[in-house]
């Protein structure tokens, strides 16, 4: 946690609603991520939270060489920032099969890995890779109970992994496991649930290895499960938190044991005071993620009683006893409930250092595609 004042001396250049990143706070979060990981060679942070080449370069400068993403735009952003080891933790289907071929061709000095959980796209990928004379590493995506993607460990998963070994153009790269279902607030409860997932993955690894298959890595987890996976000593294990680089309010509430502080916030301005006890600010759902309930989309540390009662595309109406203290043009800093989709709604972020705006970071991979 950091003791940042979250003050900005001169806000006149900030177009609202504007994403602002407090650099010292982000640096402290990165330091905490390294501390939790113990050894930075085990880290493979997910860039979905920031989607920014500037942040990726800071992570590279810290010595974090392995990175994770969910889209080809993010993969391209990582590669152009200088990352040489990229996991696209998303199953490739449709045009993404040919995009994988193009990516491997264009960034031939990058180790590019993807995930898969079904034979059909793996066969298509193998044919496409073989036709272009290239190959790609695949991680088998294990379903540890979230039931979002993945295949349960067992015979079918074993056969699929064997297929990775047999098909031309495909190289078995190990196991991928994202346990987003593990959001227990009690650390001990979370620890038990995460350890059960680890047991599934490591038992499955043992079965594959006993069958002569190579399992070079197991990429596991997000921010909530990170402290538990980090406590496991296994040379194959890679840790893939994403949210902790910026962090957000809802993870803070869900995981009180984590020592991170929301670094990315939104500067918003009062545009109207429609009634005695309401304020309207320019913070609609085109500027903050709307996947949480309206009551949990943003909080205002300087206006703790602000109760969001209506949000439209460009408006947020707050009920507060302090409405009379504000006039149109006054500013507030909002802490997003869910930062990852929030950053995707902004073209760039204002960087704040020593209470000054010092830079502007482009959210380069918020789009669906860049060049590939
Ligand atoms: C596949 C995958 N890996 C890693 C992460 C990072 O998790 P977190 O946001 O909890 O840090 C996510 C987040 O959604 C994810 O979907």
Q: How far is the CA of 218 from the centre of ligand 1 (A)?
A: 15
Same domain for 228 and 180: yes
pLDDT per residue as tens digits for the range 101-141:
999 999 999 999 999 999 999 999 999 999 999 999 999 99
Closest Cα to atom 4, ligand 1: which residue? Answer: 222
Q: What's the pLDDT score for residue 2?
A: 62
pLDDT per residue as tens digits for the range 287-318:
999 999 999 999 999 999 999 999 999 999 99
The predicted model gives 83-102 an average pLDDT of 98
Atom of ligand 1 nearest to the CA of 340: 9
Same domain for 290 and 185: no
Q: What is the Cα–Cα distance from 117 to 207, expressed in whole angstroms? A: 17
pLDDT per residue as tens digits for the range 14-57:
999 999 999 999 999 999 999 999 999 999 999 999 999 999 99
Nearest to 263 by CA among 52, 73, 15: 52
Report how many domains make up the chain.
2
Same domain for 187 and 107: yes
Same domain for 226 and 91: yes
Atom of ligand 1 nearest to the CA of 243: 11
Same domain for 277 and 202: no
Q: What's the pLDDT score for residue 284?
A: 98
Q: What are phi and psi of 324, to 5 degrees?
A: -65, -15
**Model confidence at 321, in pLDDT bands (50, 70, 90)?**
very high
- Percent of the chain past pLDDT 70, that is, above it, reads 99
- Is 40 part of any domain? no
For 155, the token pair is 């015979």
Atom of ligand 1 nearest to the CA of 70: 1
Q: How far is the CA of 330 from the centre of ligand 1 (A)?
A: 36
pLDDT per residue as tens digits for the range 194-212:
999 999 999 999 999 999 9
Q: How far is the CA of 45 from the centre of ligand 1 (A)?
A: 9
N- to C-terminal Cα distance for the chain?
Answer: 39
Same domain for 90 and 194: yes
Same domain for 223 and 150: yes
Find out whether the beta carbon of 150 lies less than 6 Å from any atom of ligand 1: no
Q: What's the pLDDT score for residue 4?
A: 87
Closest Cα to atom 5, ligand 1: which residue? Answer: 222
Which of 246, 264, 298 terminates a domain? The answer is 246
Model pTM above 0.95: yes
For 214, the token pair is 């190579």
Specify whether the backbone of 174 is left (phi greater than 0), alpha (psi in -120 to 50) or beta.
left
Find out whether the beta carbon of 45 lies less than 6 Å from any atom of ligand 1: no
- Is 50 part of any domain? no
pLDDT per residue as tens digits for the range 146-194:
999 999 999 999 999 999 999 999 999 999 999 999 999 999 999 999 9
- Is 48 part of any domain? no
Task: Identify the CATH number of the domain in which residue 232 sits.
Answer: 3.20.20.10
Instruction: Give the three-state DSSP class for 70.
Output: coil
Find out whether the beta carbon of 223 lies less than 6 Å from any atom of ligand 1: yes
Which of 201, 222, 246 terminates a domain? The answer is 246
Same domain for 238 and 98: yes
Same domain for 254 and 238: no
Same domain for 199 and 255: no
Q: What's the pLDDT score for residue 249?
A: 98
- Is 139 part of any domain? yes
- Is 29 part of any domain? no
Same domain for 356 and 219: no
pLDDT per residue as tens digits for the range 222-278:
999 999 999 999 999 999 999 999 999 999 999 999 999 999 999 999 999 999 999
pLDDT over 70 (residue 337): yes
Full residue range of the structural domain in which residue 290 is found: 1-22+248-372
- Is 64 part of any domain? no
Task: Identify the CATH number of the domain in which residue 296 sits.
Answer: 2.40.37.20
Q: What is the Cα–Cα distance from 183 to 143, expressed in whole angstroms? A: 16
- Is 285 part of any domain? yes
Which of 214, 229, 246 terminates a domain? The answer is 246
Atom of ligand 1 nearest to the CA of 180: 10
Q: What is the Cα–Cα distance from 202 to 223, expressed in whole angstroms? A: 20
For 133, the token pair is 């004379």
Same domain for 241 and 277: no
Q: How far is the CA of 224 from the centre of ligand 1 (A)?
A: 9
Q: What's the pLDDT score for residue 3?
A: 72
Find out whether the beta carbon of 178 lies less than 6 Å from any atom of ligand 1: yes
Q: What is the Cα–Cα distance from 280 to 326, expressed in whole angstroms? A: 10
- Is 31 part of any domain? no
pLDDT over 60 (residue 1): no
């Amino acid at each position: 946690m950091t003791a940042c004042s979250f003050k900005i001396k001169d806000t006149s250049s900030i177009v609202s609603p504007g994403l602002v990143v407090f650099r010292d706070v982000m640096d402290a979060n990165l330091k905490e991520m390294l501390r939790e990981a113990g050894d930075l060679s085990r880290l493979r942070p997910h860039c979905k939270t920031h989607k920014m080449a500037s942040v990726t370069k800071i992570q590279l400068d810290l010595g974090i060489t392995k990175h994770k993403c969910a889209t080809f735009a993010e993969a391209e952003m990582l590669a152009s920032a200088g990352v040489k080891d990229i996991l696209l933790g998303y199953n490739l289907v449709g045009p993404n099969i040919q995009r994988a071929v193009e990516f491997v061709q264009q960034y031939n000095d990058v180790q590019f890995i993807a995930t898969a959980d079904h034979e059909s796209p793996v066969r298509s990928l193998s044919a496409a890779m073989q036709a272009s004379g290239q190959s790609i590493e695949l991680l088998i995506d294990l379903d540890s109970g979230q039931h979002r993607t993945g295949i349960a460990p067992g015979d079918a998963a074993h056969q699929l992994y064997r297929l990775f070994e047999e098909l031309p153009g495909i190289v078995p790269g190990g196991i991928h496991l994202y346990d987003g279902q593990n959001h227990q607030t009690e650390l001990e409860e979370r620890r038990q649930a995460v350890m059960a997932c680890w047991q599934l993955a490591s038992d499955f690894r043992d079965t594959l290895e006993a069958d002569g298959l190579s399992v070079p890595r197991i990429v596991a987890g997000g921010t909530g499960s990170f402290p538990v996976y980090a406590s496991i000593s296994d040379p194959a294990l890679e840790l893939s938190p994403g949210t902790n680089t910026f962090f957000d309010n809802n993870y803070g509430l869900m995981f009180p044991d984590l020592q991170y502080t929301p670094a990315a916030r939104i500067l918003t301005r009062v545009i109207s005071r429609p009634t005695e006890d309401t304020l309207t600010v320019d913070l609609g759902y085109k500027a903050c993620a709307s996947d949480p309930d309206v009551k949990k989309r943003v909080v205002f540390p300087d206006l703790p009683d602000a109760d969001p009662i209506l949000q439209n595309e460009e408006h947020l109406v707050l009920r507060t006893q302090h409405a009379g203290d504000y006039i149109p043009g006054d500013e507030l800093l909002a802490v997003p409930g869910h930062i990852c989709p929030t950053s995707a709604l902004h073209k760039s972020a204002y960087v704040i250092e020593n209470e000054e705006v010092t830079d502007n970071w482009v959210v380069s991979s918020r789009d669906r595609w860049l060049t590939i």
